[in-house]
Amino acid sequence: MALGRGLGELLGEIETAYENGNELPNSDFLEVNVDQIKLNPYQPRKFFNEKKLQELSDSIQTNGLLQPIVITKDAENYLLIAGERRLRATKLAGITLIKAIIIDVEESKLRELALIENIQRDDLNIIEIAYSYSGLIEDYNITHDELAKLVSKSRSTITNTLRLLTLSAFSQEMLSLNKISLGHAKLIIGLSQEEQKLIVESIIGQKLTVRETEQLVRKIKNDEQEISTKLAKKDNGYNYSPLTTVADMLNKNNLKVKVDDKYFKIKIDSQEDIENIAQYFKNSL
């Protein structure tokens, strides 16, 4: 099955209906009972802002639905293709009938239509888009380049968006809820779940900027490298425990210490650092 075959015509048909509301070739425009409409199982959107949904519901109560939803016939009922927010808001307003465009569409096109309609209207968060990209690639066995052409994005955008799916479930949720930004999320890709949780909670609790988060991630990675180096030296038969003990004690005195081979380095940034070193060795004598 060729991806996107006939999809442009369907999208154009929908857009024409939105613009003039007239009856279209191979489609019908009418009012449908909201209880007869089933949600699109391929709808990529998972999160709905309750406040914005209520605002839309209030607007529909006052002004009516200005833009119809799009559905297709499904046995006894109807299946939603586009407009889930409008359908939810209409139900929230207690209105039983909704304007709808009925079109003939193959089930194989439902995921494509739902994804592209949402992307074109900028309705999805980045994680929902990532899962949609992944679903299309899996369903149609296409490359990143082919998907990029379908959704009018660059190949690098597709690849970088898909990388977000390697984040932990917690990190994905916080990104979806806008608790952290995309810039924050990119920095923690590749870290363990525990490290991600620590950093994400720090971003939210301390309101860290992307720059501050980058410094925190770098520190964690440097600490991991130092631990690996120590373990490697231990495996080679060296015993540096007394040396590392001294280094750990100096670190507790707010000094930056790095163990390197058979010696350690103390970074001095201020007069206070010098006084802390002197005080440590004085107390140790």
- Nearest Cα residue to 114 out of 90, 138, 133: 133
CA distance 89 to 71: 16
Find where tokens 């380095």 sit.
Answer: 265
For the question of residue 194 being annotated catalytic, the response is no
- Among the listed residues 9, 15, 84, 212, the single catalytic one is 84
280, 274 Cβ separation under 8 angstroms? no
Residues labelled catalytic = 84
